[in-house]
Amino acid sequence: MRRLGKEIWKNRALYIMLLPGLVWFFIFAYMPMGGLTLAFKDFNASLGIWGSPWSGLDNFRDLFHDPAFLRSVWRTLAINIGKLIVSFPVPVALALLFNELRMRRYSKALQTVFTFPNFLSWVITSGIIINILSNSGLVNGLLQTMGFDIVNFLGSEKMFIPMLYLSEIWKTSGWSAIIYMASISGIDAEQYEAAQLDGASRFQMMMHITLPSIAPTIIVMFILASGNLMTSSFDQVFNLSNAATKNVAEVLDMYIYRITFQSSTDFSFSTAASLFRSVVNMILLLAADWGAKRMGGTGLFGGVQKGEGKREKRKARKAA
């Protein structure tokens, strides 16, 4: 304990910088957890969270009795699994491609172009998309000029989900690629030199050196993404959806928003829905972590896979 204290004192500047982050987490992530008890209560604002009477599992019973809730759960999972398949590899590919660019200046310029959309809010991004894809927008204008019929992009249920994926890729890929770029920059350059001497092509180096080297980062990012499978980008869906697409757009977050703000106030009911979402997200996160470890990765929480410790010891003895 004393050693720990000494260690902390030695690095006090770092710990002081860490403090606001910890305080933030405590105030905004841990303290509100007490409010989750609302899911098991019949909330009355004048009695407060703690004074409101308990209602057992009534809120959950009503929740699972609502077909719209169940549909929104499956819809959220379907959209997010699709997003994981379609959008997740894009930043990896982008990082690999950036890494292959020889002209550094060109690479930096491209990175800026790809990263910029991340700094626009979904309200603005959606406004741009709606303007471009509306019947009188740029795309339909071009189609008409070329003699094609107008395509109803914004009111089509079939096009809504692809639009979500594409807009997500456009907005976030450049930013997400940064973490992979950082990982790539940590690869030992000697590996590439050795491969070059052996006559490896650039593509072979990318596939056999770069990609395996950033695999742990990809796995961690994948696990984190899996832990958000029940959480949709609310801002994106809210701003891009409309009456015509509401059937495919009511994901769980939209459902929670609707029951919280668009009918009469029932915070206990909405908390039950939110708690359900968080629990499922946590299960998915743990499952992905477990899966990653089973496949030989380190996982999100580190730890040593069964038998790995012995292998490591054996290796060390051999080396000695």
Partner 1 sequence: MKGYRKWTKRAVSLGLAALMTLSMAGCSNGGGSNGGSSSGGDDDTLTISFGALDNVTKEQWETDFHQFFMDKFNIKWDFNYVEWASWDEKMRVWINSGDLPDVSIWNYNYTDAKNYAEQGLLYKFPDDWKERWPNAAMAYEASPLNTQLEERFGGTYVMLRPTYVYHAQTDPMVNQIGVIGIRKDWAEAVGFEIKDAYTVDEILEFARLIKEQDPGNLGSSLIPICFDPANSLTCFVSSNSRHSRIETAFYKEENGEYQWGPADESVLEALKLYQQAYREGLLDPEFYLLNDNDKDKFYINGTVAVYHMGGVAEFRQTVDTEMRNNLQLNSDDVVHEAILLGNDEKYHNIILGSNYWSSLIFSPNISDENFERIMDLIDWTCTEAGQIVCNMGIEGVDWEYQDGEAVSILPEDTSLLDKYGPRVESMYILEDDFAVVNPSIKEEYRNRMNSLAQLKLDYGQGEYDDIDWNQEFHVSRAKDRVQFDYGQEYANLIVQEGDLETNWKAWVDEKMPLVQEYLDELNSSY
- Of 226, 211, 216, nearest to 92 by C-alpha is 211
Give min distance, CB of 233 to partner 1, in A.
19
Residues that bind partner 1 (CB under 8 A): 13, 16-17, 19-21, 23-24, 27, 44-47, 62, 65-67, 130, 134-135, 144, 150, 152, 154-155, 157, 242-244, 246-247, 259-267, 269
Give min distance, CB of 95 to partner 1, in A.
30
- By beta-carbon proximity to partner 1, the closer residue of 37 and 260 is 260
Rounded to 5 degrees, what are φ and ψ at 44? -130, 115
Give min distance, CB of 47 to partner 1, in A.
8
- By beta-carbon proximity to partner 1, the closer residue of 129 and 223 is 129
Give min distance, CB of 65 to partner 1, in A.
8
Give min distance, CB of 163 to partner 1, in A.
14
- By beta-carbon proximity to partner 1, the closer residue of 98 and 267 is 267
- By beta-carbon proximity to partner 1, the closer residue of 130 and 211 is 130
Q: What is the DSSP string of 108-175?
A: HHHHHHHHGGGGS-HHHHHHHHHHHHSTTSHHHHHHHHTTPPP---TT-HHHHHHHHHHHHHHHHHHH
- By beta-carbon proximity to partner 1, the closer residue of 9 and 261 is 261
CA distances from 233 to 126, 171, 172 (A): 12, 12, 12
Please state, in angstroms and rounded to a whole number, the distance separating the CA atoms of residues 161 and 158.
Answer: 7
- By beta-carbon proximity to partner 1, the closer residue of 66 and 88 is 66
Please state, in angstroms and rounded to a whole number, the distance separating the CA atoms of residues 195 and 183.
Answer: 19
How many Cβ atoms sit within 10 Å of the Cβ of residue 208?
13
Task: For helices 211-226 and 267-294, give the axis angle rounded to 10 degrees.
Answer: 150
Give min distance, CB of 78 to partner 1, in A.
18
Give min distance, CB of 156 to partner 1, in A.
8
3-state secondary structure 19-71: HHHHHHHHHHHHHHHHHHHHHHECCCCCCHHHHCCECCCHHHHHHHHCHHHHH
- By beta-carbon proximity to partner 1, the closer residue of 121 and 247 is 247
- Of 67, 25, 27, 72, nearest to 274 by C-alpha is 72
